[in-house]
Structure 1
Amino acid sequence: MDIENLMSPEGMRAFTDEQRDTLTTDASQVRQLALIIKARIAQTQIDGDKPWSAKLRAYKVGKQFEQVAKQLEKAAAGCEGINASYKKDVLEVPARRERALERKEQRAEQKMLAKARAKHGITGALAENAHALNAGTGAANPQVNAPAAPPAPQYVNPAPFPMPQAPAQSSSGQISDHFPDISLEAS
């Protein structure tokens, strides 16, 4: 067997097809043998057999043949798995990596475009707000233009009670000046 030919996609496909076909043919032959041997054992009587003993022996031997046939079919399926795994994990890897790199670059480009659009939008909004604040006119945006303050209320009598005059001296004096009834002496 040429290993270089085996490592090509066509060579691996041919090898796995050949092995699969061989194993499935063997499995079908084992099943046919199982039927023939079961029938022959079931009809062979041994001295001292009960009526069902021959069929039980045939069933036991036939079961072993069935297990062999199942294992051969499983091996044939494994050959198909070899080819699928070879294609997926060896042959298609470079193309998958290239597609992944292209998608990554596209995402990076889309992110950069989105950032540029957002930056342009923010810059435009800030310039518009600054222009509105500097010009004194602009859109009626409560975040840009503060609402006008309500007018101050007009009182009829602005000072109904005379305000106390501040003392001429700057110190506040003694506490007894403010509260004459308090005695501060120790008793």
Structure 2
Amino acid sequence: MSAASKWTPDMLQSPADRATHLEQRRAQLLPIVDDLRRLAREVQAEVKEYDSIEGDLPGQARLRAWYVSNPLFKAADDVEQAIADLISFNGRFQKSYEDLPVKRETKRQRKALAKGKAKQAIESPPADTAPGPPEKSHFGDVFDGLRRGA
């Protein structure tokens, strides 16, 4: 894929194309993350060296340095999170559109097989449990109602 062409949704249909897309984006974004972190550290070190401004409380200059440099660190974290989100997209796409139909078909086949076995069991019960009159116990008819309701 040339640098001038853009990715489209139909290009992300295969696992190989999604992996290529992820690697291209990772190659683009990781240098940006590294540059932002380097710049944030340098800015933080620079502003920590500034003298206190008249009227500062103790530690206020250090707090101001953190306040100023923190957005650069956050920007680096956000770009790094974008890479993690692309990885998440790949996993979700595979799970929802490639694995799910296979999983559902397997479940459908298992269900049909179980249904076929149940139907076969109803049509031809095993020989050792042939239906017949229930055994009479030596207690007579006293417990017949209890057995039926249980």
Q: Structure 1 residue 37 and structure 2 residue 37: aligned?
A: no
Q: Structure 1 residue 79 and structure 2 residue 73: aligned?
A: no
1:9-68 C-alpha deviation (Å, 9 max, x unpaired): 211121123223433432232122111001111112366375744322211112222222
Relative contact order (C-alpha < 8 Å, sep 6+): which is higher?
A: 2
Correspondence for 1:155: none
DSSP 3-state at the match of 1:118? coil
How much is the aligned-residue C-alpha RMSD, in angstroms?
2.8
TM-score (norm. length: structure 1)? 0.57
TM-score (norm. length: structure 2)? 0.69
What's the % identity of the aligned pairs? 21
What are the ranges of 5 or more consecutive residues in structure 2 without an aligned counterpart?
Answer: 1-5, 141-150
1:75-131 C-alpha deviation (Å, 9 max, x unpaired): 111110110111111122332222122111111122123323537666x343xx5xx
Aligned amino acid, residue 34 of structure 1: A
Aligned amino acid, residue 136 of structure 2: P
8 Å contact kept, 1:20–1:79: no
Cα distance in 2, alignment partners of residues 25 and 2 from structure 1: 21
8 Å contact kept, 2:44–2:69: yes
> Higher helix fraction: Structure 1 or Structure 2?
2
Cα distance in 2, alignment partners of residues 86 and 17 from structure 1: 16
Q: How does 1:21-170 map to 2 (within 5 A)?
A: 21-45=27-51, 48=54, 50=56, 52-118=59-125, 124-126=130-132, 141-142=135-136
What are the ranges of 5 or more consecutive residues in structure 1 without an aligned counterpart?
Answer: 130-140, 147-187
